[in-house]
Amino acid sequence: MLGVGSKFPNFNLKAVSEKPIQDINIDNVFINIDNNTYKGKWKVIFFYPKDFTFVCPTEISAFGELNNDFSDRDAQILGVSVDSEHAHWAWRREQKELKELPFPLVSDLNRQLSTDLGILDKSEGVSQRATYIVDPEDNIRFVMVNDLDVGRNPKEVLRVLDALQTDELCPCNWKKGEETIDVNVVTAKNEKQNAVSN
């Protein structure tokens, strides 16, 4: 599996547009998305096993509810599965929580991107429930994989994105607006404590 520090693989895939359902027509329902589509932006790319399932819509809609927060951080969300773009479109029309989804659902129908990332569940033939945060230079900065039966926490993904964007040391459970770790202050404090104890 590709991990932190690796370049996110090149891809060129079909997707269902993020436009509101009432604004979608036959001419704009399907779009192409590749590495350059969101060039210079942070990307949160999450993979889910299948459309028309039970856990997947709960986390997809949770990402949708936080879309403005991600957008405020110059991050584009992409949801990806091995279903076709036609299945994505049918699911968006049918599933109440997905009708106003504010980000594209991408089709990795040939499973190439999932294979390149090393997240294809060979026994099930679907993408693992993986989440990537990719920086504007296409470097993977965060990866997390959940069991197929367990939904992820989009608020935690947002917290990690906030931490990554500080370019500073962030302690456990750090949240945006809290102090980061200043190495110089910690070093000076430790030196002072060592001097007192000697």
The single residue listed with the structure tokens 């091995």 is: 82
CA distance 50 to 82: 7
Tokens of 27: 């001419």
CA distance 32 to 10: 13
* Strand 105-107 relative to strand 75-81, pairing: parallel
Mark whether 56 is an active-site residue. Answer: yes
CA distance 130 to 152: 9
CA distance 83 to 108: 7
Name residues whose C-beta falls within 8 Å of residue 54's C-beta, 6 or more positions apart in sequence.
Answer: none
From the list 16, 29, 44, 56, the catalytic residue is: 56
Tokens of 158: 């947002």
Burial 68-84 (b: 16+ CB within 10 A, else e): eebeebebbbbbbbbbe
8 A C-beta contact, residue 166 and residue 187: no
Hey, which residues are catalytic here?
56
